[in-house]
Structure formats: structure tokens, C-alpha cells
Amino acid sequence: DKTFAEHFASDWTSSWNAHDLDKVLSHYADDFEMSSPVIVQLTGEPSGTLRGKAAVGAYWKKALSLIPNLYFEPISVLAGFGSLTIYYKGPRGRLAAEAFPFGVGQNVVRAFAHYAV
């Protein structure tokens, strides 16, 4: 619903902007999957997908070390059935969107990052 979507997006964005990796990871199920073209660039994983908090957490830790001034500026939140998408400006004003299907307990079970080309 709208209230959940707005709260999740606000909490997710503020967690990233604080560079609080533990808080960011708290939004996700333990065995969630993350897909992003940046995964290929930073990890060399050709599928572009990582599985589990340990693997994704290591990837995000590396990303934060490479972009110490990382800041997300939310543009809008798009609510779906059992999912939502956050549309935002990332580093250097690059447009991005992340889609989040939710599972039991309103934890993210998959995440898909998309970037303007």
C-alpha cells in the first residue's frame, strides 16, 4: 500500500545515504537475490546476479568504498502488487530505478537495479 511503499522508500534511501550497510541489508531476506549490471563490472560475475546477504553485502561494501560520497535523491515510488520500484538520482545525477518484490514479513526477496543509458 501507499503508506508501506513511502515508508520503505524513505528508510531504504536514508540507510543508503548514511552508508549504513547493516541497515540497508535489514530490508532484505537472508537468501535474497540482487541483479545489476554493476555486479558484472565490480565482481566479474557474468550473470549479473548475486545470492544471499553475505555475497551482496560484500559487493555493496566494495561499491561504498569506491563511491565514498554516494547519495541517492528519490524522485518517486511506484507501487505494485507485492512489489515496488524506487526511481532516483544516483551518483553524478545518473537516473536509476530499483524494483523490489517482497516475501513473507515484507522483506525483499529479489532486487533488480536499472540505470539510464
Separation of alpha carbons 72 and 11, rounded Å: 12
Helices and strands (H, E) in the chain, number of each type: 4, 6
11 CA to centre of own chain: 12
Residue found under cell 530505478: 97
What predicted TM-score, i.e. pTM, was given to this entire model?
A: 0.94
Output the pLDDT for position 52. 97
Q: State pLDDT tens for residues 11-42.
A: 999 999 999 999 999 999 999 999 999 999 99
Whether residue 58 has pLDDT greater than 90: yes
Whether residue 106 has pLDDT greater than 90: yes
